[in-house]
């Protein structure tokens, strides 16, 4: 099943959700700011995206600047920071079986549908 990691307050995430609604396929919405993701879930997302964890980070978020900016962090530390502060994750993220994309721009979601 297709999954979208969604933040309803984010315009890009809402646009990504609209693309999924228009495709006519079943999908699951995961509001990752409400549902606490585990370390393993975030790690799986990073692996499916085939990117380093830093690419998934929103480095302009205040929480990043206050707690982590300028620190040397391992990939595990970065994933743990996204688990603790899910607002640090880019959005939307769409997963379809073994493929995943960050929906920035939202049209990239069409690549895996």
Domain enclosing residue 58, as ranges? 2-112
Q: What is the pLDDT of residues 2-15, one digit of tens each?
A: 999 999 999 999 99
Q: What is the pLDDT of residues 69-83, one digit of tens each?
A: 999 999 999 999 999
CATH of the domain at 91: 3.40.30.10
pLDDT level of residue 90 (50, 70, 90 thresholds): very high
Average pLDDT, the chain: 97
Tell me: cis bond preceding 105? Omega within 30 of 0 counts. Answer: yes
Number of domains the chain contains = 1
Residue 105 C-alpha from the chain's centroid: 13
CA distances from 110 to 17, 25, 80, 90 (A): 11, 12, 29, 18
The reported pLDDT for the residue numbered 87 is 96
pLDDT level of residue 30 (50, 70, 90 thresholds): very high
Active site residues: 10
**Structural contact between residues 102 and 12, judged by C-beta atoms closer than 8 angstroms:** no
């Amino acid at each position: 099943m297709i999954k979208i990691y969604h933040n309803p307050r984010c315009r890009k995430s809402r646009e990504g959700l609209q693309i999924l609604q228009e495709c006519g396929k079943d999908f699951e919405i995961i509001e990752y700011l409400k549902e606490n993701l585990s370390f393993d879930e975030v790690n799986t997302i990073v692996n499916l995206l085939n990117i380093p964890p830093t690419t998934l980070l929103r480095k302009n978020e205040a929480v990043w600047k206050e707690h982590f900016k300028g620190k040397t962090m391992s990939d595990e530390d970065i994933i743990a920071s996204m688990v603790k502060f899910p607002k640090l994750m880019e959005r939307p993220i769409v997963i379809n079986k073994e493929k995943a994309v960050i929906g920035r721009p939202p049209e990239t979601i069409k690549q895996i549908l």
